[in-house]
Amino acid sequence: MKNQVVLITGGTSGIGRACAFEFGRAGARVVVTGRDAAKLAGTAQALAAAGIEHRTVAGDVGVLTDANRAVADTIAAFGRLDVLINNAGLSMRAKFADVDVRVLEQLMQTNFFGTVYVTKAALPYLLESKGTVVGVSSIAGYRGLPGRTGYSASKFAMNGFLEALRTELLPQGVNVLTAAPGFTASNIRHTALLANGQPQHDTPRDEAKMMTSEEVAQHLRQAVAKRQRSFVLTGEGKLVVFLNKWLPGLMDKMVLNNFRKEEGEL
């Protein structure tokens, strides 16, 4: 990663923030986007204290002008782009029968179109560097999860987009990596949207038993260095993907029972 330039969307918490430090400590120059100005400033201060060369860009990648500006500011600062990590994302926790459809639209705008917008703006520079596009997806992109219809839809859409893009870019030497971390201790469940579009400010799961964001970031850096095409993390995540392929009917029941254990779920 020495002297490579890495743009990370949604980099003020969780996996995105951990990636900023992981890639930065490996010698990369990092650019981090975020919607929360206070968190963005805190991340910048921490990166500076760690001696990591960086820039921050305030904005929402689900807004086309903000997505374009994130790439433009990266090129203005460092003159190149080697790795794009599409990490910005929202989740949800509500039954489809109850949820305001605008919540699903919001998830698609951030999780899917945010990835599309930034990747589109970054592509000319990644073609020059023969770099890597990363999509931080989810097990929900392989197996639909109850209470997460919009989230699952956005991640399935991301996976399909990246698979098609990978195939298109094979002759140009740009790598496309789809990363499914599995359940990870991060901020995404605290900010998950409820049926009315308000964040739940809590998590129904035991975060202490999950893989840490730092572990995910380490796997991501290694996968980028090896130019992998995809990976699924955690034993539970790999089992879900495997069983859903070969025993989908059984997985319907297993997934439903698992999510019924969450307080107030379904």
Q: Let me know if 117 is a catalytic residue.
A: no
Q: How far apart are CA 246 and CA 266, in angstroms?
A: 25
The one-letter amino acid code at 5 reads V
Burial of 53 (0-12, 13-18, 19+ CB in 10 A): middle
Q: How far apart are CA 218 and CA 177, in angstroms?
A: 14
Q: Which residues, listed in sequence order, are joined to residue 135 by a DSSP beta bridge?
A: 86, 178
Name the 3-class secondary structure at 159: helix
Tokens representing residue 16 in the block: 């995105």
How many other CB atoms sit within 10 Å of the CB of residue 11?
A: 30
Comparing CA positions, the residue from 118, 132, 107 lying closest to residue 28 is 132
Tokens representing residue 10 in the block: 């949604």
Q: How far apart are CA 140 and CA 8, in angstroms?
A: 21
Distance of CA 236 to the CA centre of its chain: 19
Indicate which residue of 117, 125, 142, 151 is catalytic. 151
Q: Which residues, listed in sequence order, are joined to residue 177 by a DSSP beta bridge?
A: 134
Q: How far apart are CA 189 and CA 11, in angstroms?
A: 16
CB 188 within 8 A of CB 239: no
Q: How far apart are CA 186 and CA 205, in angstroms?
A: 11
Q: Which residues are catalytic?
A: 151
